[in-house]
Structure 1
Amino acid sequence: MRRFAPYFKPYAGVLLLDLFCAALTTLCEIGLPMMMRRLAQVGMDDVSLLTSGLVLRVAALYIVLRLIDVAASYFMANIGHVMGARIETDMRSALFGHLQKLSFGYFANTKVGQLMARITGDLFDVTEFSHHCPEEFFIAGLKIVVSFVILCTVNVPLTIIIFAIVPVMAIIAGKFNMAMRRTFAKNRRQVGEVNAQVEDSLLGVRVVKSFTGEAREIEKFEQGNRDWLEIKKENYRWMGAFTATTRAFDGLMYIAVIIAGGLFMVHRRIDPADFMAYLLYVATLLATIRRIVEFAEQFQRGMTGIERFFEVMDVEPDIESPENAEKLPRVQGNIRFEDVCFAYADDPNTPVLDHLELDIRAGQSVALVGPSGGGKTTICNLIPRFYDVTGGRVTVDGHDVRTVELDSLRGQIGVVQQDVYLFSGTIFDNIAYGRPGATREEVVEAAKQAGAHEFISATQDGYDTFVGERGVRLSGGQKQRISIARVFLKNPPILILDEATSALDNESERLVQQSLERLAKGRTVLTIAHRLSTIRNADKIVVLTEDGVAEQGTHAELLARGGAYAHLYQLATED
């Protein structure tokens, strides 16, 4: 709660006004028993003084209080809820912004469905919580304090007897609340698991259908759904016990008023008017307690959502710009790996790279080949600093990549991957992602350079064609050429091609390869390739194995040497 409180700061004025309105509604509610007590006392003392004029004056006062109550309630229900929605929006923006800063390692170990549950469902409950939590507890506290003070002026012993029950009720309710919070946390985690399973199944729907896996997917979903039901049943058991306990204390408080109040009346220590006032105040207090009970589920949902929000916010980004980082100027593209060591954080004892030395000159085309697990993709990930080296350093034009601004580094590196990701939107939007603010003419020119303009123009809506979820409405070759156009528009001096053509058919590969050759001109290019035919013209070919760099040189030199590359090339040509 201490960490959540700062989110109220921008809306402090609204919150104070909301609590002021809550105080008005509370005072209006507390005023009624005193009015009834006054009328009863006048009637008991001298019924002739109980005139229609007095009744009308009391009624008029109550009408005024009710009008104030109506206006204050409207403000609380309207502006108060808007304040809660604004806080939810601020937190969601903060959470999404924080997620954008986290490194690849975090997302490699976290299910997207879990993150979606935190961004949407968890924070949705914060709206009600951030509005009602301060309001409900303020009203409850005010009613208890004011009622205690007023009733003490009437009869101190009876007041102490009644209010002695409240702390016991609070302690027991607190124990139930903690149990409810634990079940709500389990519930939230299971929601994330179900979301993750649904997302996984729907995104892989083609695989599911091609392997007739519908029944298996339904069974997996049903299992997660049943687990969710069991958690909710446990949750409602605690809620039922909590509600039953508070109802029992309701009855106990009424019994205390009836027995103690009745005995005090018998011994003339309280008159009937005061006794009636006590009953009305107890009814008011119990109504408040019931409201808190009804709010308990909402309160626990909100608290659980806030806790899960801070769980993510507490994750520190592994990769960020250092303080006072220099902005990397436009580079020529000289890249050096100096005694570089690397191991993934979850497996630090298994090095992927061990004292790697590699020198790539500006404008040079370098191909990385070798069996899987040799560190080809890792090398490419270290240049834009998707991961940090665990030893040695990587430099671009002599600048250690760990000392420069991340945006200025990554802004000068273009990546074309095998698994092309297109955002849900139009073709224009996806190409323009390479340089926000680009004109339509610039986007069209980039598409022409990538060899994509012809097929784009043939579509019904041209550049305004909707590509579908992850570009599902386009072929693999079309998606790849759009991704190349995106890099053309970015115009980086360093280019990384991560098996960009390995998943394409021969015709698509030929078209994409022509686009890549145009894209590579005048840039430093690193290519990861399994099809060795695509990298024969590289300036340097580096053969990587689990033991590091096995050999490097041109295609002709490596073939003449008859080593690891010649063996790989022989296998490829035999295939």
Structure 2
Amino acid sequence: MTVTTATAPPQTGADDVLRRIARQLAPYKRSMALVAVVVLVSAGLTSLAPFLTRAVFDDALFPVDGGPVNLGLMWWLFAGLVAIPVVTALLGIGQNYLTSKIGNSAMADLRSDLFEHLQKMELAFFTGTKTGAIQSRLANDVSGVRTVLTDTATTILQNSVTVIAAFVAMVLLSWQLTLLTLIVMPLFLIVQVRVGRRRQRIARRTQESLSEMTAITEESLSVSGILLAKVFGRGQAETERYRRENHNQTRLQIEAAMTGRTFFALVQTFFAVTPALIYLVAAYLMTGRIAGGEVLTAGTLVAFTTLQARLQMPLIQLMRVTLDVQTSLALFRRIFEYFDLEPAITERPDARPLARTRHGGRVEFDDVWFRYPEPRSLSGDRVGPRFGIAALDEIDEPGEPGAEEAPARTWTLAGISLQIEPGQLAAIVGPSGSGKTTTTYLVPRFYDVDLGAIRIDGLDVRDATFESLAQSVGMVTQEPYLFHGTLYDNIAYAKEGATRAEVEQAARDANIHDRIMSFDAGYDTVAGERGYRLSGGEKQRLAIARVLLMNPRVLILDEATSALDTETERLVQQALERATQGRTTIAIAHRLSTIRNADVIFGLEDGVLVEEGTHDELLARGGLYARLYHEQFDGGRVEGRFADGVVYADGEVWCDKRAGRRADIGV
């Protein structure tokens, strides 16, 4: 079997990036065409003004034939010179509205498309990538190209048309003076290309630094991160870590701001001294020392210098925006890198929904082999450790004729075959790192098996639609995730359009309704970041209520009662008993007392299924389960420290603890 490693997509060229940007703007082509018309009209009007200026001097004020001042013509020229800036300003307002609408809409589309694409990525992608890095590309990188999408296309078009029109007008006025203006342009273009490449490199490093800062913020300022820093006294260390990256970001920002400043200073200086050169050359032209002096008049000279002055700003803007485009290409490449990552787990074209049968829920593992894929890394994103169970001892993989030899990698699960009948409670036990959680992650297809198949009611999960699979398999994890919303919203998240009565009934079945109603705001109480305003047992029962509202046919419980006090565990256990009624349940438990009544218990060790049977059968067999059971209960006896109330074990009262004494009590 050939082992494949997911790698970052190849870098795309500038032409390809520009084509993809054009496709992003394609839905707005009609609006862009209207903008182009407005730009052309504005540029035409702007280029007309110098010719009116020449007419003012040569035909109205100082007629070349020596006649008197022509007041009638002067009024017409006055009207034209006033109308042009007024009309141009009105056109500019409409142009700004259209470009802002196009650019911001295209940026919103880009952000939404990227978010939708990330939603399709497999779990392994997120376990191998920092959340802050993903957030940075979604926020900082997309925001970084705002100017390109909102103004750049119009700015390039407008200034290009203005520059072209101005040059044409200048040639018509005096080709000799125009040649003087253009003489250093090739040098400017060469320098601009070099400056643009440097700014691209700086822009990429800047975004990578921003990504790292976002990751530090997300990790350190989350509730979990703050708690960890306070527990270990690492607050100052985290501050120093952020300060170092912030200093690096500042240095890069300064470097980006200064790159090209000398270049633009030279360009501005050239345009500032050009009029003096024009006057000097004009003197030679008018004295006949340079051929063509007869075409130069005072009006022509004024009109030409006016055009040359008006040419300066659009030409500098065009150079500046071209550099901005080159800089933004680095950001677009980072964004498109995510788009180019194809989800490793996709819905097949011929996928069909799992049938909603009343007595369904049969789960079958057929010779399943699985190992976690290598994390996918992208340029500038520091890849975290591979998510998954602790490394296992290497297991020889099943041979395939003609298979290419690949570097040895350990199997997390090797040759797992088991069946769970509809309505059964199946428990998976084993030492830490044996593959228990991995087994449950394969059922809802968080990962795909490498070999073999997993079936629900006879249908391979890879042939099922994502929607039906999500509706059929529910999960309650050891640390349930609650978002920063109301308790009602956290429960209702499982079922779109759920009624108030359905949510409250699910809460009652999960033994959490009364506790919710004890809060001042009731169901409108805010859970807090990751539910930190609630106790562990409250979060567990909310998660159970959410699953009950979902009503799946297969329920997965991953250490749902661990780390709970006795009274809370009893409440959670009662809720779980209701949750498991009438549906297939797969439970992972380190507390073996919670799964003694399971219909079938599977023992995993080093990714291999080593035994299965009932509690009594496995104890009698003396294998893995018996060893774990006796290690946990010390030969069948449990030492308890009494506090308040009574101690429960396997549903039986051990002892009344009101005496406050210690005792060893047999299970």
What's the TM-score once normalised by structure 2's chain length? 0.83
Q: What is the deviation of 1:122?
A: 2.1
Q: Which residue of 2 aligns with 1:87?
A: 106
**1: CA distance, partners of 2:554 / 2:266:** 68
- Give the stretch that moved more between structures: 128-137 or 388-397: 128-137
Would you say 1:354 and 2:380 are equivalent positions?
no
Q: What does 1:436-515 align with in structure 2 at a 5 Å threshold?
A: 436-515=496-575
Q: What is the deviation of 1:49?
A: 4.2
RMSD: 2.0
Aligned match for 1:322, one of 337, 343, 348: 348
Q: Which residue of 1 aligns with 2:371?
A: 343
When residues 276 and 485 of structure 1 are mapped into structure 2, their CA distance, relative to the original with a 3 A threshold, is same
Would you say 1:289 and 2:322 are equivalent positions?
no
Give the conservation status (yes or no) of the 8 Å contact 2:47–2:169.
no
Would you say 1:60 and 2:46 are equivalent positions?
no
Q: What is the deviation of 1:292?
A: 3.1
**1: CA distance, partners of 2:463 / 2:328:** 41
Would you say 1:219 and 2:240 are equivalent positions?
yes
Aligned match for 1:30, one of 26, 47, 58: 47
1:117-163 per-residue CA deviation (whole Å, 9 max, x = no partner) reads 22222222433322311111112221222222222223333323423
Q: What does 1:506-545 align with in structure 2 at a 5 Å threshold?
A: 506-545=566-605
When residues 96 and 251 of structure 1 are mapped into structure 2, their CA distance, relative to the original with a 3 A threshold, is same
Q: What is the deviation of 1:546?
A: 0.8
When residues 359 and 146 of structure 1 are mapped into structure 2, their CA distance, relative to the original with a 3 A threshold, is same
Aligned match for 2:141, one of 117, 122, 131: 122
Would you say 1:307 and 2:352 are equivalent positions?
no
**1: CA distance, partners of 2:283 / 2:185:** 21
1:394-419 per-residue CA deviation (whole Å, 9 max, x = no partner) reads 11111111112111112100000011
**2: CA distance, partners of 1:301 / 1:411:** 45
**2: CA distance, partners of 1:6 / 1:20:** 21
Q: Which residue of 2 aligns with 1:198?
A: 217
**2: CA distance, partners of 1:444 / 1:305:** 47
Q: What is the deviation of 1:245?
A: 4.2
Q: What does 1:47-446 align with in structure 2 at a 5 Å threshold?
A: 48-203=67-222, 204-251=225-272, 253-254=274-275, 257-267=278-288, 268-269=293-294, 270-295=296-321, 298-299=324-325, 302-331=328-357, 332-346=360-374, 349-446=409-506
Consecutive unaligned residues of structure 2, counting only runs of 5 or more, are 1-17, 375-385, 387-407, 639-667
Would you say 1:13 and 2:69 are equivalent positions?
no
Give the aligned residue type for 1:350: T
- Give the stretch that moved more between structures: 82-91 or 231-240: 231-240
3-state SS of 1:250 partner: helix
1:461-517 per-residue CA deviation (whole Å, 9 max, x = no partner) reads 111111122112111111111110000000000000111121322222221111111
1:255-287 per-residue CA deviation (whole Å, 9 max, x = no partner) reads 653454443233224333222222222211111
Give the conservation status (yes or no) of the 8 Å contact 2:412–2:607.
no
Q: What is the deviation of 1:354?
A: 1.3
1:83-141 per-residue CA deviation (whole Å, 9 max, x = no partner) reads 21111111111111111100111111211112212222222243332231111111222
Alignment identity in percent? 35
- Give the stretch that moved more between structures: 501-510 or 394-403: 501-510
**2: CA distance, partners of 1:477 / 1:344:** 31
Give the conservation status (yes or no) of the 8 Å contact 1:342–1:352.
yes
- Give the stretch that moved more between structures: 95-104 or 284-293: 284-293
Give the conservation status (yes or no) of the 8 Å contact 1:431–1:486.
yes
Give the conservation status (yes or no) of the 8 Å contact 2:156–2:321.
no
Give the conservation status (yes or no) of the 8 Å contact 1:104–1:387.
yes
Give the conservation status (yes or no) of the 8 Å contact 2:196–2:327.
no
Give the conservation status (yes or no) of the 8 Å contact 2:601–2:613.
yes
Give the conservation status (yes or no) of the 8 Å contact 1:369–1:376.
yes
Give the conservation status (yes or no) of the 8 Å contact 2:555–2:586.
yes
Q: Which residue of 1 aligns with 2:661?
A: none
Give the conservation status (yes or no) of the 8 Å contact 1:24–1:68.
no
**2: CA distance, partners of 1:323 / 1:74:** 49
1:150-202 per-residue CA deviation (whole Å, 9 max, x = no partner) reads 22223333323423433432232122112112111111111111011011011
Q: What is the deviation of 1:308?
A: 2.1
3-state SS of 2:145 partner: helix
Give the conservation status (yes or no) of the 8 Å contact 1:428–1:463.
yes
Give the conservation status (yes or no) of the 8 Å contact 2:173–2:304.
no
3-state SS of 2:207 partner: helix
**2: CA distance, partners of 1:393 / 1:507:** 41
Give the conservation status (yes or no) of the 8 Å contact 1:265–1:272.
no
1:513-546 per-residue CA deviation (whole Å, 9 max, x = no partner) reads 1111110111111111111111111111111111
Q: What is the deviation of 1:210?
A: 2.2
3-state SS of 1:550 partner: strand
3-state SS of 1:4 partner: helix
Would you say 1:2 and 2:2 are equivalent positions?
no
When residues 322 and 59 of structure 1 are mapped into structure 2, their CA distance, relative to the original with a 3 A threshold, is same
Q: What is the deviation of 1:294?
A: 4.9
**2: CA distance, partners of 1:99 / 1:245:** 45
What's the TM-score once normalised by structure 1's chain length? 0.95
Q: What is the deviation of 1:231?
A: 1.9
**2: CA distance, partners of 1:47 / 1:467:** 89
- Give the stretch that moved more between structures: 124-133 or 45-54: 45-54
**1: CA distance, partners of 2:594 / 2:463:** 35
**1: CA distance, partners of 2:217 / 2:260:** 29
3-state SS of 1:538 partner: coil
**2: CA distance, partners of 1:288 / 1:313:** 35
**1: CA distance, partners of 2:266 / 2:372:** 52
1:46-105 per-residue CA deviation (whole Å, 9 max, x = no partner) reads 454433333222121122212211111111222321221111111111111111100111
Would you say 1:567 and 2:567 are equivalent positions?
no
> In the comparison of the two structures, how many residue pairs are matched?
575
**2: CA distance, partners of 1:368 / 1:96:** 36
Q: What is the deviation of 1:302?
A: 4.1
Give the aligned residue type for 1:219: E
- Give the stretch that moved more between structures: 483-492 or 509-518: 509-518
**1: CA distance, partners of 2:283 / 2:129:** 64
3-state SS of 2:20 partner: coil
When residues 262 and 560 of structure 1 are mapped into structure 2, their CA distance, relative to the original with a 3 A threshold, is farther
Q: What is the deviation of 1:457?
A: 0.8
**2: CA distance, partners of 1:104 / 1:459:** 35
Q: What is the deviation of 1:211?
A: 2.1
**1: CA distance, partners of 2:536 / 2:97:** 51
1:280-299 per-residue CA deviation (whole Å, 9 max, x = no partner) reads 22211111123235546754
Give the aligned residue type for 2:354: L
Give the aligned residue type for 1:342: F
Aligned match for 2:614, one of 548, 554, 558: 554
**2: CA distance, partners of 1:460 / 1:104:** 38
